[in-house]
A and B are shown apart, each in its own frame.
Chain A
Amino acid sequence: TQLLEQSPQFLSIQEGENLTVYCNSSSVFSSLQWYRQEPGEGPVLLVTVVTGGEVKKLKRLTFQFGDARKDSSLHITAAQPGDTGLYLCAALRANFGNEKLTFGTGTRLTIIP
């Protein structure tokens, strides 16, 4: 059983469309991060959300942390080919002593020009 389930697993849309991907869990997290990974490269941190209900914007990307700090979403407006990549959410459990960062299953996004 995965700690962090992401959906959809694959998403292919036309340039200019909007999309939302989700990261869900039954566990509560003290914070959650989103990374993007391009082929041949390591994941790159996009954002960290800490407070339940928090919304952060990064240009056309909007990240939201659920009120209960169990889930998060990433919304992309007017998607561009440069948004193509593997989107990963990652978290440490709240009040959990292990220092490891656990990654979700990932959403592989393809933007078609």
Chain B
Amino acid sequence: DSGVTQTPKHLITATGQRVTLRCSPRSGDLSVYWYQQSLDQGLQFLIQYYNGEERAKGNILERFSAQQFPDLHSELNLSSLELGDSALYFCASSLGQGMPGGYTFGSGTRLTVV
């Protein structure tokens, strides 16, 4: 157990639908990062939050949004889902904004859009 909790572990939904993925960071970590992993694109950075504020954005689609709540858990919202959104979505956390301690990853949510 890495200490980062992601739910649900698996999600199957239809095109056009909206889903919410949830992440609880490791105790004490203030930064949360969301990544998308697909076979052809590898591990792609989506967005980062630090202590409730958005700090960095990657190639995140406009149909996707995220937030970090006062208790530091984070949610990634995916809407108007398309078949190409099928992927593994990982959340990671770290104590601060740098990388000396590395990121701790959750086990991911496998999203299948049918």
Contact = CB atoms under 8 A, between A and B. Distances in A.
Interface of A: 31, 33, 35, 40-45, 48, 50, 88, 92, 98-106
Q: Which of B31, B42, B104, B106 has the most CB of A within 10 A?
A: B42
22 contacts: A31-B99, A35-B102, A40-B107, A40-B108, A42-B4, A42-B105, A42-B107, A42-B108, A44-B2, A44-B105, A45-B103, A48-B100, A88-B43, A99-B48, A99-B55, A99-B56, A99-B98, A100-B45, A100-B48, A101-B99, A101-B103, A105-B42
A113 B48 CA distance: 40
A102 B45 contact: yes
Contacts, number: 60
A106 B40 CA distance: 11
Given A100-B33, A101-B33, A102-B45, A33 B99 contact: yes
B66 interface: no
Contact of B2 (A42, A92, A103): A42
A103 B59 CA distance: 14
Contacts of A88: 43
B45 A45 contact: no
B8 interface: no
Interface in B22-48: 31, 33, 35, 42-43, 45, 48
Given A100-B45, A100-B56, A33 B107 contact: no
Interface of B: 2, 4, 31, 33, 35, 42-43, 45, 48, 50, 55-56, 58, 90, 92, 97-100, 102-108
Give the interface centre of B90, B92, B99, B104 by most chain A CB atoms within 10 Å.
B99
Contacts of B48: 99-100
A83 B114 CA distance: 34
Nearest to B96: A99
Nearest to A2: B42
Nearest to B9: A40
B103 A41 contact: no
Nearest to B4: A42
